[in-house]
Homo-oligomer: A and B are copies of this chain.
Amino acid sequence: MPFKTTILVRFGDLDPAGIAYYPNLVNYLHESFEDFFAGAIGKPYPEVFRDGIGFPTVKVEMDFLSPVHYGDRVEVDVTVEHLGNTSVRIRYEGSVKGKPVFRARNTAVVVNMRTFKPTALPSWLRESFERALG
């Protein structure tokens, strides 16, 4: 079961064509990732980050399937696709009223924020990610 969250399209996300500017939709992936921690991992990402674990993105692929408009509520399904030793690959599927608007895959490395070196996921975090494997 993917984790589900909803993101409201804000005025500041729009371009002069009146639709969401695509780098801002990429930002929605990170916001969904943050919501995933609060909702599915059980520890908000700000706390994880302050504990010294970061997830810098090393790869993103994203398809924009349909324009996203002002005021839309984008429902995002977050699925852990792959769990490596020191990395995680997550799939994001965005839709508005059931209509797909984007589909993305993000690979992030797990990093010790003090050394900036890759590190294995702590076991409690690994277990939570495993439960979210799609």
Residues of A within 8 A of B (CB): 9-12, 14-19, 21-24, 26-27, 29-31, 34, 44-47, 49-50, 54, 56-64, 67, 69-71, 113, 116
Interchain CB contact under 8 A, B63 and A62: no
Count the copies: 4
Interchain CB contact under 8 A, A71 and B56: no
Interchain CB contact under 8 A, A46 and B31: no
List B contacts of A49 (CB < 8 A): 11, 16, 70
What are 21 sample pairs from A and B whose C-beta atoms fall under 8 A apart?
A10-B31, A10-B34, A11-B21, A11-B34, A12-B21, A12-B23, A12-B30, A12-B31, A15-B16, A16-B18, A17-B56, A19-B56, A22-B60, A23-B24, A44-B71, A46-B69, A46-B70, A50-B70, A58-B63, A60-B61, A67-B116
List B contacts of A26 (CB < 8 A): 22-23, 26, 60
CB distance from A54 to the nearest CB of B (A): 6
List B contacts of A47 (CB < 8 A): 71
Query: Do A23 and B16 contact each other (CB < 8 Å), given the known contacts A49-B70, A67-B56?
Result: no
Interchain CB contact under 8 A, B46 and A30: no
List B contacts of A29 (CB < 8 A): 23
Interchain CB contact under 8 A, A62 and B64: no
